[in-house]
Amino acid sequence: MWSFRVSVNDMKVLIDPLITLGLVDIMADGIFSPDMFCIMADSDVSIHSAFGIELLPPFFDTFYADEVRQLFWFRLTHLFPLAVQLLESGYTSFTFSIERFRYNHAQFRFEGPNGLLREVNFLLTPVVRPLSIGEIDLSAFVTMDSQEFSNIISEYHMFDYVQVIITNRRVSFSYAIIQETIITPQDGQCIIGGIRPPNEVQFIITMSQPDAFYHFASQSKRIWLFKEVNSTKGIITAPLGLHGRLVSFFCDSSA
């Protein structure tokens, strides 16, 4: 039988970014494999947008997975708001495990000083077609300070879609002809890479869940915007150190 187990000694480094997903949905898809821990949740079903967290094995203090890739969905309500409450109460470590001899049974285990212990057992439901993060085109990008990105959120969270146009000299965010915001490297607002004149890169993003996006931005010093390969859609990432990232993406081709 297959098993999976990850743990962090400082649960804040995992719970804080996961709050982004808990702010948008009560259900989540999970992909658990020998080289990735990934959880994704719909942020706006009507426009097929979602958030995800991708973590590599070195992100964790312990990581074990059999050589099998497994796909499940589960209730985020098993984790939130309990995890936040326990964190505030002094619990420090977190373990997620799937039992070897009970294939679809999982457990969250919280521990703290002086014998603090809380366990949450729950069922996982196999999923055939989970949410999927598209392939990132790494040939061009724009990155900005998280506060700069938060400023953009405040201006565009009321729109379903935001058009992004990147040249070698500036980045334009706009909605139809109603509104446009321009940021430039010359003004110290961003860094642009991989684009040579007269080329430009265009894609759409969304910021339609502002509370989640503000929290998303708070998890990293810098935010990165890329285009999805062979698509008109953009992918926004917030690095979590060297071995993880939060991702905002569109989860199918209808966007």
| Residues 174 and 209 occupy one common structural domain | yes
CATH number for the domain that contains residue 111: 3.10.150.10
Listed residues 126, 145, 176: the one ending a domain? 126
Within a domain: residue 89? yes
Domain match, 205 and 120 both: no
Establish if 167 belongs to a structural domain: yes
**For position 13, what pLDDT does the model report?**
98
The pLDDT assigned to 1 comes to: 56
What pLDDT does 67 receive? 85
10 and 105: one domain? yes
Q: What are phi and psi of 86, to 5 degrees?
A: -70, -40
Same domain, 64 and 82: yes
Task: Please provide the DSSP assignment of 97-159 as one string.
Answer: EE-TTSTTEEEEEEE-GGG-EEEEEEE-EE-SS---PPPEEEEEEEEEEHHHHHHHHHHHTTS
Q: Is residue 131 one of the residues assigned to a domain?
A: no
Residues 121 and 149 in one domain: no
Give the range of the structural domain holding residue 106, as residue numbers without chain letter.
4-126
Q: Is 76 helix (H, G, I), strand (E, B) or coil?
A: helix
Q: Name the domain boundary from 126, 152, 167.
A: 126
83 in the same domain as 43: yes
User: Is 60 part of any domain?
Assistant: yes
- Residues 83, 122, single domain; the answer is yes
Instruction: Tell me if 38 sits within 8 A of 4, measured CB to CB.
Output: no
Instruction: Going residue by residue through the chain, which has 255 residues, state the pLDDT in tens, using 9 for 90 and above.
Output: 578 999 999 999 999 999 999 999 999 999 999 999 999 999 999 999 999 999 999 999 999 999 888 899 999 999 999 999 999 999 999 999 998 777 789 999 999 999 999 999 999 999 988 899 999 999 999 999 999 999 999 999 999 999 999 999 999 999 998 999 999 999 999 999 999 999 999 999 999 999 999 999 999 999 999 999 999 999 999 999 999 999 999 986 443
- Residue 199 in any domain: the answer is yes
The verdict on 153 and 194 lying in the same domain is yes
Task: Using alpha carbons, select from 148, 139, 144, 133 the residue that is nearest to residue 55.
Answer: 133
Query: 105 and 158, same structural domain?
Result: no
159 in the same domain as 91: no
**Residue-wise over 16-28: b if at least 16 C-beta within 10 A, else e?**
bbbbbbbbbbeeb
| HSE-CB for 231 with a 13 A CA cutoff | 21
Under 8 Å between Cβ of 97 and 109: yes
